Amino acid sequence: MKLATGMPTLLMALLPATLLAQKPARNCPPMDSAMHAGMGMQGHMHMAGCAPQDSAFAAMQARGKTVMGVDQYSSTHHFDSLADGGRIVLQRNKPDSAGTRTIREHLRHIASAFAQGDFALPMQVHAREVPGTKVMAAKRDAITYAFRPLPRGGEVRIRSKDAEAIGAIHEFLAFQRQDHHAGGTTMSHP
């Protein structure tokens, strides 16, 4: 049987399936540590009908594991924008003394590197220039970075009284939240 367009019925029946197969995959939304800890990788990929993460995200996560020394899928990042700057939090999802020690060493290292205006590690993880880092490097004398241990990891608190530096910090943290599909607080900056 043929349709008015001349296409066989079988082809018309297959057309919707072909179009659906070409639809771009949605990435899964960020999860809090309790959700993350209770699911395997397959659970993450199919949560709420989400498709597997795209290859660029998986590659970035692999680079992050190399740079940070811990598996990005079994750790939780938060990038909080605060009135005087912000903070980066990284913690293991489950007790892991070796992973916790590795995270703390990494966070101490980035606090020191950032204070010197060195943002090579975020650029290595993201394989591109990270927004906000040029201004943060130029304004390094107006910004402080302080490491503090937390259960299963730690945080780097970033502070400044310079409005331009705070704007750059917020830009940096917003990019990190988005690219890592991470949690954290947002703040608008005038």
**Average pLDDT across the chain, whole number:** 75
So what's the pLDDT on residue 56?
73
What DSSP letter does each residue of 6-70 carry, written as one string?
A: S-BHHHHHHHHHHHHHTSPPPPPPP--HHHHHT--HHHHHHGGGPPPPPHHHHHHHHHHHHHHSS
Query: Which is more confident, 113 or 48?
Result: 113
Q: Is the pTM of this model over 0.85?
A: no
Summarize pLDDT for 10-44 with one digit per residue, the tens: 444 444 443 333 333 334 444 443 444 433 333 33
Residue 182's closest CA among 39, 44, 33, 46?
33
Does residue 96 surpass a pLDDT of 80?
Answer: yes
Give the C-alpha separation, 106 to 51, whole Å.
31
Lowest pLDDT segment from 47-51, 113-117, 169-173, 182-186: 47-51
